[in-house]
Amino acid sequence: MKNQAQLDQMSLNELKMLSIDMIDRAGSGSPGICLAMAPVMYTLFTKCINISPKIPNYFNRDRVILSSSHIAPLYYAMLYIAGYDIKKEDLMNYKRILSNTPALPELNNPAGVDASCAFAGDGVGLSLGIELGREYIDSLLKKEDKKANILNFNTYCFLSDADIISGTAEESFSFIATKKLNNIIFLYDKNNMTSDGSSKDVLDIDVAKKFHSYGYYVDELKDSTNIRDIQRAIEAAKRSNRPSMIIFNTVIGKDSFNEGKQIMHSGTLSLDDANTLRRKYNIIFPPFEVSKDTFLHVQKEIKDRTTKIQTKWNEEFERLRGVNIASINNIIYTLQNRFTTIPFDSSNYKINDGYRETLKESNYKILNLAISKNDLSLVLNTADSLDTLVYLQNTTYFNETNKLGRNIRLGVRNLASPNIINGLNLMGIRPFIGSKLVYADDMLKGIKMSALMNLGVTYIFTHDSVYNSIDGISRIPTSEISFLRHIPNLTVYRPADINEMMGTYETILEENKPAAIVVGTNSVPKLPGSNAKNVEKGAYIIKSERNRLDGIIMSSGEEVVSAMQIAYDLEKEGIDIRVISVPSLDKFMEQGENYQKELIPYDIKRCVIEASNDTKWYKYLDAKVDNNLININDFAYGGVPIEVLQKMGYDYDSLKLKVREILK
């Protein structure tokens, strides 16, 4: 009969081989990190982590984030052996289309994956957001019941050298230190090898000293193969009152013919290499087989260690539910369902005729009206909050001594900010983040991940388009609206006035999915005919033709003001024009064909006015007519906006001439 150490070594060897079997069958993967970090993964699951394989979404579970996403096959193999709902066939289908074991981790696919990760550094921001959410919600609970203790989990984040190098990660590492987010433990695979060679050519710094200087608890293991040493390091980090960085010095591809070599970063093992490993690990059964003893040992280790913890937690959970305080019940519902509903009915608010202000001011007012009373919504800003006006009034700022602040200043952290709000929403919080539109370029990868995970996050981009010319040519948005609209599952809104702004928030808060609001800084009036309730359709008739329909102008955002004035002016010349306001081209494209044809009969001349370079509009334009998309396809100029618009032929008089030429 095997002793504890022998059972651990047997199980660890089978875990290693299982991950190699997956990679070899798929024909690609990263065998080096799987062999190097298997002792850490095995120790974390069997000795340290609080999980419940049969209830994978138990909300006080420890989170595991794979910022080093190429470690995925090792993670899937560990979940399988630990007893999660994964079958051997799933492992055999690693990297196959629609499989439960995709190449890189995807949220809840399979069960046990806490977040989608793809790019170096993303997982650091996700971990940050998850821990921000944990600390904030825990403080909300303690505000109602000082003894509340149902949210005390740790977040473990696997890192590679690429994550340490990544600028995205660096933005998050420093913020974690600044806010003293203590329940994050980083597990860094320091193998000194990147995909294109030795990491010393690109990362020749003392990582331990760097994180010491940030105020992290830092530990470093010279030999990262000993289970007991790994366990001691992780347990010490758990006891620390600081964010933790454990540096595991590893050998990439440990035990392979090519251990320590760049080739182990990606690819497969040769048949001879794999067979030699199998013999070295004393594995006598064929690929994808795991011994009964390993299943029993690993699952017993997890159950024996976590049962007492979770029994005590269940007692506290039932006690807290028995208190029967409405706010606590709402928080518990959010944690269980990862869904925050925020009711907002635009019909409760009437805007006076003659009302006029900038759209960023309208956004500020509606944001505060819509979410100010909902404690499970937070507002973040990447910088310039006083300029973008994206913040909540009558509340405080979150910091290390005030965990109840609902405003969060991120500073200039554009790269990391989408990952941070994605992490917050994974905790059930509805985050709203403000930035200037030109910085959307920096945020693109993270925004894509919001859409991929279908998270209820809202991006608020101000300083729209060429109207921002006073800040110089390099700060004028050009293609940002276009690429935002081309991200699948991201709904972009470009409201024209305060009514449409209310409708935008009403629609966003009802849907709980990724959204972006784009607003300018020019003063605009409440437009006659604007309607908040029509925003959910994406487009509607804001100005009807008087007698006969000669032409149609489609427009969005501030340009709707010009479109309507042009229509009125051309009416005097005998051209009867309908104006379609399109607060969301994405929503309009979701409508049925009948509604689209009702608004835009295809036998009528039509044009679009929008200060972007988005080509999605061509779906609704006549391909036989030249220049009917009146947009901006070039860099603008720095300077006074009216002079820039005149130079580019986008001032009011120039627009009217172009519309007349198309619709006459």
Tens-digit pLDDT profile for residues 86-133: 999 999 999 999 999 999 999 998 899 999 999 999 999 999 999 999
Upper half-sphere CA count for residue 346 (Cβ side, 13 Å): 23
CA separation for the pair 484, 143 (Å, rounded): 39
pLDDT at 639: 87
Which tens digit of pLDDT belongs to each residue from 594-605?
A: 999 999 998 999
Q: Which helix (H) or strand (E) holds 590?
A: helix 585-590
Which pLDDT score, from 0 to 100, does residue 428 have? Answer: 93
Please check the confidence at residue 1 and state whether its pLDDT lies above 90.
no
Q: Which residue did the predictor score with more confidence, 340 or 509?
A: 509
Q: Give exposure, 412-433, as e/b (b: 16+ Cβ within 10 Å).
A: ebbbbbbbbbbbbbbbbbbbbb
Which amino acid would we find at residue 162? A
pLDDT of residue 555: 97
- The model's pLDDT over 41-55, given as tens digits with 9 standing for 90+, comes to 999 999 999 999 999
3 state SS of 362 = helix
Report the distance separating Cα 523 and Cα 521, nearest Å.
7
CB 598 within 8 A of CB 534: no
Residue range(s) occupied by CATH 3.40.50.920 in the chain: 536-663
Q: Decide if 482 contacts 614 (C-beta within 8 A).
A: yes
SS3 of residue 69 by DSSP: helix
Query: Which of the following CATH numbers is that of domain 4-306: 3.30.2090.10, 3.30.460.20, 3.40.50.970, 3.40.1080.10?
Result: 3.40.50.970
- Report the pLDDT value the prediction gives residue 549, as an integer from 0 to 100: 96
Q: Give me the chain's average pLDDT, please.
A: 94
CB 67 within 8 A of CB 123: yes
Domain 346-525 homologous superfamily, CATH: Thiamin diphosphate (ThDP)-binding fold, Pyr/PP domains (3.40.50.970)
Nearest-10 Cα torsion for 314, 320, 324, 329: -80
Q: pLDDT confidence of 32, banded at 50, 70, 90? A: very high
Candidate from 198-207, 404-413, 501-510 with smallest mean pLDDT = 198-207
Which residue, among 229, 281, 230, 235, has the nearest Cα to 19 in the 3D structure?
A: 281
pLDDT in the model for residue 325: 86
% of residues, the chain, pLDDT over 70: 100
The answer to whether the beta carbons of residues 116 and 107 sit under 8 Å apart is: yes
CATH number of 536-663: 3.40.50.920
Please report the pLDDT score of residue 195 as a whole number.
75
The region of weakest confidence among 140-154, 235-249, 415-429, 461-475 is: 461-475
Tell me what pLDDT residue 637 has: 84
Using DSSP, state whether 192 is helix, strand or coil: coil
- Locate CATH 3.40.50.970 in the chain: 4-306, 346-525
**β-strand pairing of 244-249 with 407-409:** unpaired
Contact 128, 114 (CB under 8 A): no
Summarize pLDDT for 266-283 with one digit per residue, the tens.
Answer: 889 999 999 999 999 999
**Cα–Cα distance for residue pair 27/467, rounded to 1 Å:** 52
Token reading at 422: 């994605």
